[in-house]
Structure 1
Amino acid sequence: MITLQNIEKVYRTSTIETLALNNINLDIRKGEFVSIMGPSGCGKSTLLNVMGLLDEPSKGTVQLDGQAVTQYRDKELARLRNQKIGFIFQSFHLINDLTVLDNVEIPLLYRSQNGRPRQDYAKDALTKVGLSNRMKHFPKQLSGGQKQRVAIARAIVGNPDIILADEPTGNLDSAMGNEIMNILQQLNDDGATIVMVTHDEQMAKRTHRLIRLFDGTQVL
């Protein structure tokens, strides 16, 4: 599903060079639920961004479904992200001036999906995360857990093969965090491949496999 070979990521300024990822080799198999852990600043989010084709590695190759994509143009990468990958962020990244339903429809707009089918897909996604009664609400009217459910609905509305989640329970209390994990596990049971960055050992234990990072290097 996702294969990283000899991945290195270096950030450079005029005065300093920072090695964010060093010789990462990973193979995320179809249907897995994988967690990534490590101290703050160790490269977890950078690794997730490389997997999600949001950030280009300085060295190494990224393969998606067996196809090397490292040299793809930006337009080709954007198309792959939209069709194959759903993103969930710790800070939700919802648009406050749009309703819940409108927020969830956004990925389908980039596919030029027609209005009525687009709305139907968004309603189905919100039903899956238990928010069918909040479609006309605005983000400011929702709790943190509800906002994260909207973010999950937005991530799954296009039926992606891969879901990348960056601290999806980080801003939530333990009860709501467990509810979000239950949703992610159900999505995984339904066939989605999920990679999740987390600081929570208990959440990580609920996934199939744990990858640990330290100073940009995979801990074996």
Structure 2
Amino acid sequence: MITLQNIEKVYRTSSIETLALNNININIRKGEFVSIMGPSGCGKSTLLNIMGLLDEPSKGNVAIDGQLVKSYRDKELAALRNQKIGLIFQSFHLINDLSVLDNVEIPLLYRSRNGGSASGKSRLDHAKEALEKVGLSNRTKHFPRQLSGGQKQRVAIARAIVGNPEIILADEPTGNLDSVMGNEIMSILQGLNNDGATIIMVTHDESMAKKTDRLIRLFDGTQVGDSVLRAGGAGPGDNPGHFTHNPTSQLLNP
């Protein structure tokens, strides 16, 4: 589903060069729940951003469903991301001036402006369904400032899943929450995975990572571990597989 081959990421300024990721090779299979761990600054979020097509590697190849994305234009990458990938951020990234319902609708609004056919009523219905899945159907008219941290994260999850993405990328989704709220958010992610979503989660919490199928460890930008925790994880020996060169992939026109 997501394949990274020989990924390297270098950040350069006029006076310094920083190697953020070094020779990363990972294959995420459809339906897996994978956690990524490592100390602060080891490249976890950089890796997630590359998987989410938010950033480009300096070297190496990224493929989604076997299709290389290297030659995609920005508009094509954005369309692919909107169709295939749901993003959950540690700091929520909600728009304070919009209601909970309007925040969740945003990905569908973007899709509609780029050729989607969903009506306004249909978009709102889908947003309400997503909020119901995360237990916030009674908060549709509230604003982010009226919510707790756990509720904000639920809204962020609803926004990520409203377009029924096959892939969910979560960057420290429980990092700003207490243990009770963290476990509730983890239960929601496990439920989404049980329903078929492929989930990749960056976390500092070993107890949360142990609830996933597979654990990838990074240290100083290098992959130092890949362990199967439950049946179904691909594991360190899994073959990254083939890439297909096709910049006009059918993924953009499902």
Fold shared by both chains (TM-score > 0.5): yes
- Which residue pairs with 2:161 in the alignment? 156
Among 88, 103, 119, which residue is 1:114 paired with?
119
Superposed CA offset, 1:52-104 (max 9, x none): 00000000000000100122110100000000000000000000000000000
Q: Give, as a single letter, the amino acid of the residue that structure 2 aligns with 1:190.
A: D
Equivalents in 2 of 1:26, 1:158: separation in Å?
26
Equivalents in 1 of 2:161, 2:202: separation in Å?
18
Equivalents in 2 of 1:132, 1:54: separation in Å?
30
Equivalents in 1 of 2:141, 2:61: separation in Å?
43
Q: CA deviation at 1:114?
A: 1.8
Q: 4+ residue stretches of structure 1 with deviation over 4 A?
A: none
- Which residue pairs with 1:165 in the alignment? 170
Among 181, 184, 202, which residue is 2:207 paired with?
202
Number of residue pairs the alignment of both structures matches: 220
- Determine helix, strand or coil for the equivalent of 1:110: helix
Equivalents in 2 of 1:76, 1:217: separation in Å?
29
Query: Normalising by the residue count of structure 2, what TM-score does the alignment of the two structures yield?
Result: 0.86
Gaps of 5+ in 1: none
- Determine helix, strand or coil for the equivalent of 1:206: coil
Alignment of 1:1-220 (within 5 A): 1-112=1-112, 113-220=118-225
- Determine helix, strand or coil for the equivalent of 2:111: coil
Superposed CA offset, 1:127-176 (max 9, x none): 00000000000000000000000000000000000000000000000000
- Determine helix, strand or coil for the equivalent of 1:111: helix
Identical aligned pairs, as a percentage? 85
Q: Give, as a single letter, the amino acid of the residue that structure 2 aligns with 1:69.
A: V
Equivalents in 2 of 1:5, 1:45: separation in Å?
17
- Which residue pairs with 2:242 in the alignment? none
Q: Give, as a single letter, the amino acid of the residue that structure 2 aligns with 1:14.
A: S
Query: Normalising by the residue count of structure 1, what TM-score does the alignment of the two structures yield?
Result: 0.99
Q: CA deviation at 1:200?
A: 0.1
Gaps of 5+ in 2: 113-117, 226-254
Q: Give, as a single letter, the amino acid of the residue that structure 2 aligns with 1:21.
A: L
Equivalents in 1 of 2:183, 2:71: separation in Å?
39
Equivalents in 1 of 2:223, 2:119: separation in Å?
44
Q: Give, as a single letter, the amino acid of the residue that structure 1 aligns with 2:209.
A: A
